[in-house]
Amino acid sequence: MLSFGRFTVVLDACALFPMVVRDVLLTFADHEFYAPRWSPRIHDEWTRNLAARFADKSAANDAMPKITGIRNAMASAGRHGR
């Protein structure tokens, strides 16, 4: 089997912001097709935009639990900020 872990990909905020794109890209990374990387600045940009999108919505659509969950998953994978 080929080892895809050798590929490193920088995911910009425009790739991390849309839910479907983010989920697909992070699923591929979880299956070790590539090693995702992003900076703290990129992470802050997409999470800030997600929070702004939900600012005018009901509390049921609160972005903070989503952001916290994704941030924890990224940190536990050791991929954030590298």
List the domain boundaries for the chain. Answer: 8-77
Q: Are 8 and 34 in contact (CB under 8 A)?
A: yes
- pTM, two decimal places: 0.68
Structure tokens at 68: 């916290």
Is the predicted pLDDT of residue 28 greater than 90, yes or no? no
Reported as a single tens digit per residue, the pLDDT across 5-22 is 578 889 999 998 888 998
Band of residue 81 on the pLDDT scale cut at 50, 70, 90:
very low
Amino acid letter, residue 19: M
Reported as a single tens digit per residue, the pLDDT across 51-73 is 888 776 665 456 777 777 777 76
Percent pLDDT > 90 in the chain is 11
